[in-house]
Amino acid sequence: MRTAYPSDLDATFFRVISDLDLRAKLIAARAAEIVQSPKGTLRCPYIVRLYPNFDAPGLAANGAARAPDAGRPLPARPTVEELAVLVARIAEIEREVEDRLTGAVDERIAELQKTIASSSGAELRATIRELATLFDRRDAIGSEIREAAFRTIESDTTFAPRRYLALISRHR
């Protein structure tokens, strides 16, 4: 006797996912659920079922899959307007954070650039080394800006579109 498969079973929604980070992000965004994972010494691939409507069953507190209607209700998909508001808010906060983080560095760079004209010898070399360090610091601030913006939005409970933040990548 053959097993009857569910009528909504569509092979186009099943994928082998070897990238652990991608798999975790898909599951966190409720865009996928694991249907096969390695157990013990078994070396089978991870297979996930994709949910294009972001309505995959969540996980219970013990890590077991739960039915979609258990726990909190499924979030609605975001509208274009809600995503536009979210992206605009991210850009606004990134500008604020950038101004705050780069302000002190830029001021010190300006001071050192003025000092170079009147410096010589060891003082000039020390000034140039400090300038190089500050320029490296300024370049590294870019990733800090995005992280700070996402943390600010995640903690703002009054901003409703923040619930869609998981759909947007933190990395440029």
Give 65-84 pLDDT, tens digit per residue: 554 444 445 456 778 888 88
Per-residue pLDDT, 143: 74
Per-residue pLDDT, 75: 55
Q: Which two tokens stand for residue 166?
A: 């998981």
Give the CA dihedral 107, 109, 110, 112, nearest 10 degrees: 120
Per-residue pLDDT, 68: 47
Per-residue pLDDT, 139: 81
Per-residue pLDDT, 63: 54
Q: For residue 138, count CB atoms less than 10 angstroms from its CB and return exposed for 0-12, middle for 13-18, buried for 19 or more.
A: middle
Contacts of 136 (CB under 8 A, 6+ apart): none
- Which one is predicted more confidently, 171 or 135? 135
**Averaged pLDDT, 83-110:** 87
Contacts of 168 (CB under 8 A, 6+ apart): 83, 86, 87, 90
Q: Which of 27, 167, 25 is nearest to 90 (CA)?
A: 167
Amino acid in the structure at residue 46:
Y
> How far is CA 141 from each of CA 69, 82, 87, 91, 166, rounded to the nearest angstrom?
42, 28, 20, 15, 22
Residues 17-42: tens digit of each pLDDT: 877 778 778 888 777 888 777 776 66
Q: Which two tokens stand for residue 102?
A: 């780069």
One-character DSSP codes across 110-130: HHHHHHHHH--HHHHHHHHHH
Flag whether pLDDT at 7 surpasses 70: no
What rounded mean pLDDT belongs to the chain? 77
